Amino acid sequence: MSDIKELKSIELSSYTTMVTGITVLFSIITAILISIGIAALMPSGSGVIIYLIPTIIVGVFMYTIYNSFSQGLFYNLLAKKLKTIAVIIEDGKEIAKISTTETATMVALISTIQFILLYLVSVLVLPLLFTSVIQTLMFTGQATLAYGIYQLLAILSQPTTILMLIFGTFIITFVFVLIGAYIYNILAKKGRGVILNLGSEGGLTAIESIEPLKLAIAFAIICGILSLIVGIISIISGGSIANLIGNVLGGFVGGFIEFYLIAIFYNFLAPKIGKIKLELIDFKIN
C-alpha cells in the first residue's frame, strides 16, 4: 500500500537535538583520528592534542546547533509559502519516491539564506580579523602577503562578487539536489529505497529507526554519481583521469561510510535523546 505524504513542518527541538548529537559523534571520531595522526607524526605533540580534541568537539557542537535549528526553522517558514517536499511511502516504511523540484528548491533556498546570514556576520568579523593580520604582517616585513590578503578582502567586498556567490550557491545546490533526487527515485524503483520505521508521537510522525544498509547503499550511489559529474567537469577544466577515479571512489566509499554511520548513530541516540518528529500530512492536489 502506498501513501503520498507531504512534509508540512519539522519539529525543531527534536531535529536540532538529533542532528547535533550525530554530528558531535562524528566530531569525536574526527578529533581522535586527527590526534592519532599528530601523535604519529609529532610524538611530542601531546600538548596540542589536549587542546585540539575539546576545541573540535565544542566548535562543531556550537555550529551544528545553529545550523540544524536554522535549517528546520527556514523549512517551516518556507513551507507556508511554497510547495513542500512530498514523498511516497510504501508499506508504511519505504521511501519509494520523493518530489524532485520541490526538494531541490527547498534545500537550495535554505542553503542560500544560510549563506547570506553567514556572509552578513563575516562582514562584521572578517575586516577586524584581517586588519589585525595585515598590521602584524606589515610589522614583520611580510608586505607582499599583507597586500594579497588586502586584495582578497577587497574582492570579497565587491557587490558583484557577493551576488555571484549568492547566485552560485542557489544554482549549484539546486542542480545537485535535483540530480540526487532523480537518482534516488530511480534506485527506489529498483527496490533500493530507504527504510524508515515510523511511529506516532504527540500527533506527529516520529522516525523510530533507520535501516543502515539501505541508507548507505542509496547515498553511496548518489554520492558516487555526483562525484563522477564533478570529476568530468574537472577533466574538461584540465584535470586528470586519476583525479576522476579518485573522486568517484572517494564519493562512493565516503558516502557509504558516512550514511551507514548516520543510521547507526541515529538508532543509538533515538532512545536516549529523542527521535526526529515531523508533521507529515496527506498530499493534496490543488
Q: Is the dihedral of CA 14, 173, 81, 62 positive or negative?
A: positive
* Joined grid coordinates for residue 29: 571520531
Q: Residue 231 above 80 pLDDT?
A: yes
pLDDT digits (tens, 9 = 90+) for 154-197: 555 666 767 788 888 899 999 999 999 999 999 999 988 999 99
pLDDT at residue 133 is higher than 60: no
The grid cell for 67 is 545550523
Q: What is the pLDDT of residue 264?
A: 97
Mutual orientation of helices 241-273 and 212-236 as an angle, nearest 10°?
150
Q: Predicted confidence band at 224 (pLDDT cuts at 50, 70, 90)? A: very high
Residues 6+ apart with CB under 8 A from 225: 179, 183, 251
Q: Which three cell numbers stand for residue 164?
A: 555571484
**Maximum distance among all alpha carbons in the chain?**
72
- Total length of the chain: 286
Beta bridge partners of 280: 7
Q: Which of 19-23, 28-32, 40-44, 149-153 has the lowest mean pLDDT?
A: 149-153
pLDDT digits (tens, 9 = 90+) for 100-116: 999 999 999 999 999 88
Give the pLDDT score at 119: 77
Average pLDDT estimate for 128-134: 54
Nearest to 25 by CA among 196, 261, 215: 261
pLDDT tens by residue, 46-85: 666 677 778 888 888 998 999 999 999 999 999 999 999 9
pLDDT of residue 178: 97
Using DSSP's 3-state secondary structure scheme, residue 141 falls into coil
Q: Which of 249, 114, 131 is CA-nearest to residue 173?
A: 114
Which pTM was predicted? 0.83
